[in-house]
């Protein structure tokens, strides 16, 4: 029950790209020959450490949804391709959290575990990010915690996970690593690896009483890294947060923590009249609290204005380098004050490029529904 053979054209295209951008690697032809022979023999091939590191960076550079690509060269790549057992993957994920946090000065980082091969399926991490908060449906229909993960949380409890007592709005879910041999395995996150920031507002003293907090390091863990035809389904990566991801989406969305009506109420706004723009005003204050709290806690974070103009710098550099930069407007334009950011006011190349990160339906289902398992 392995995956199919590596696509030779994709392998060759990647090798040509790697050698073209990295002259120090020498002529590409011998390497292509060797890789083709390796695919003949095994159905796949093993990237050199340099190819792997470049491939991961190029995948970031090519991801049309990411506004943070200016620093793509700085990605730290942890080569963990020999790790393929559930406990090993989990342990290295926890190490990743610590190394990426780096005392608050976050480091963009990726941990690449064993690839899919024709003879052996790679491990899968179920969680959407290494750190995610449980969502508990309450008897009255409301949700304690993150509603996005209600189904996942329920499934984890069926699998034997015991939530902390008393349950809270920020209970860290266990990490689930599945291998074809072991099936899905749960691993609680070590407390010292879960760095969090308590939220307070620079002016509104009552904001701290809401008891909101968020984790410092966003490590996306259910995307597949695809390089030259080889798939790395377990390749968790992180940058640092852009404030709106937390303040506008995680806290602001009606089907997440839904904090806008709560904050508007505390601010004394007229929530009976949409034209008072109470939603907009509360949204801004929530986002100010996020940026302020991360900053005073000494944890890297960026605001959407700064990151937008950095992204335009990135586009210029890519253009000067003669490369296209695939960009998805609807993901790049921030979820608040869109037209106040320079990324709003232009068109982009949209054609997909490889290497890249891709998320398939099965991975999304496991991350949100907590199953079914990848390996029957």
Instruction: Give residues in contact with its own copies (CB under 8 A).
Output: 243, 248-249, 252-253, 260, 274-277, 279-281, 283-284, 287-288, 291-292, 295, 303, 305-306, 329-330, 333-340, 344-345
Q: Which CB, 35 or 110, lies closer to ligand HEM?
A: 110
Pick the catalytic residue from 61, 66, 78, 307. Answer: 66
Binding residues for ligand HEM, how many (CB under 6 A)?
22
Among 6, 36, 230, which Cα is nearest to 28's? 36
Answer yes or no: are the C-beta atoms of 339 and 345 closer than 8 Å: yes
Shortest Å distance, C-beta 352 to ligand HEM: 12
Among 71, 187, 344, 348, binds ligand HEM (CB under 6 A): 71
Among 297, 303, 300, 302, which Cα is nearest to 284's? 303
Provide the mask over 184-223, with x wherever binding to ligand HEM is found by CB under 6 A and - wherever it is not. ------------------------------------x--x
> Which residues 306-335 are close enough to bind ligand HEM by CB under 6 A?
307, 331
> Which residues 216-235 are close enough to bind ligand HEM by CB under 6 A?
220, 223
Shortest Å distance, C-beta 364 to its own copies: 15
Q: Which CB, 108 or 174, lies closer to ligand HEM?
A: 108
Among 313, 372, 373, 304, which Cα is nearest to 339's? 304
Sign of CA dihedral 75, 317, 336, 331: negative
Q: What is the dihedral of CA 132, 137, 142, 145, to 10 degrees?
A: -20
Residues 6+ away with beta carbon under 8 Å from 374: 121, 124, 178, 180, 362, 366
Among 16, 82, 11, which Cα is nearest to 40's? 11
SS (H, E, C) 87-132: HHHHHHHHHHHHHHHHHHCCCCEEEECCCCCCCCCCCEECCCECCC
Contact between 65 and ligand HEM by CB under 6 A: the answer reads yes
Q: What whole-number distance in Å separates Cα of residue 79 and Cα of residue 58?
A: 16
Among 298, 293, 242, which Cα is nearest to 102's? 298
Residue 287 touches which member of its own copies, ligand HEM, none, C-beta under 5-8 Å by kind: its own copies
Q: Which CB, 191 or 345, lies closer to ligand HEM?
A: 345
Provide the mask over 98-137, with x wherever binding to ligand HEM is found by CB under 6 A and - wherever it is not. ----------x-x---------------------------
* Catalytic site includes residue 245: yes
> Which residues 270-309 are close enough to bind ligand HEM by CB under 6 A?
302, 307
Contact between 75 and ligand HEM by CB under 6 A: the answer reads yes
Among 240, 310, 251, 252, which Cα is nearest to 280's? 252
């Amino acid at each position: 029950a392995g995956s199919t053979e590596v696509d030779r054209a994709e392998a060759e295209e990647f090798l040509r790209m790697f050698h073209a951008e990295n002259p120090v690697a020498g002529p590409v032809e011998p390497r292509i020959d060797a890789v083709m022979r390796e695919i003949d023999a095994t159905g796949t091939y093993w990237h050199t450490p340099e190819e792997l590191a470049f491939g991961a960076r190029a995948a970031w550079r090519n991801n049309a949804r990411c506004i943070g690509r200016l620093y793509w060269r700085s990605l730290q790549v942890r080569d963990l391709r020999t790790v393929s057992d559930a406990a090993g993957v989990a342990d290295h994920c926890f190490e990743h959290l610590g190394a990426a946090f780096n005392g608050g000065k976050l480091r963009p980082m990726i941990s690449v575990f064993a690839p899919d091969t024709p003879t052996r399926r790679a491990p899968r991490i179920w969680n959407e990010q290494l750190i995610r908060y449980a969502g508990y449906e309450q008897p009255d229909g409301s949700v304690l915690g993150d509603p996005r993960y209600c189904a996942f949380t329920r499934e984890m409890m069926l699998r034997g996970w015991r939530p902390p007592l008393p349950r809270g709005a920020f209970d860290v879910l266990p990490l689930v690593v599945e291998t074809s041999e072991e099936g899905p395995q749960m691993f609680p996150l070590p407390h010292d690896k879960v760095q969090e920031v308590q939220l307070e507002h620079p002016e509104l003293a009552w904001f701290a009483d809401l008891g909101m907090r968020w984790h410092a390091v966003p490590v996306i863990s259910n995307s597949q890294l695809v390089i030259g035809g080889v798939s790395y389904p377990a390749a968790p990566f992180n940058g640092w947060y852009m404030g709106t991801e937390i303040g506008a989406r995680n806290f602001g969305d009606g089907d997440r923590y839904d904090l806008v009506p709560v904050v508007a109420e505390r601010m004394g706004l007229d929530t009976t009249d949409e034209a008072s723009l109470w939603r907009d005003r509360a949204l801004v204050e929530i986002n100010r609290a996020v940026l302020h709290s991360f900053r005073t806690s000494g944890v890297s974070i960026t605001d959407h204005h700064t990151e937008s103009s950095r992204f335009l710098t990135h586009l210029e550099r890519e253009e000067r380098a003669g490369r296209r930069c695939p960009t998805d407007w609807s993901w790049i334009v921030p979820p608040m004050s869109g037209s106040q950011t320079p990324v709003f006011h232009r068109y982009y190349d949209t054609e997909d490029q490889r290497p890249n990160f891709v998320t398939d339906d099965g991975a999304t289902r496991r991350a949100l529904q907590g199953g079914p398992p990848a390996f029957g």
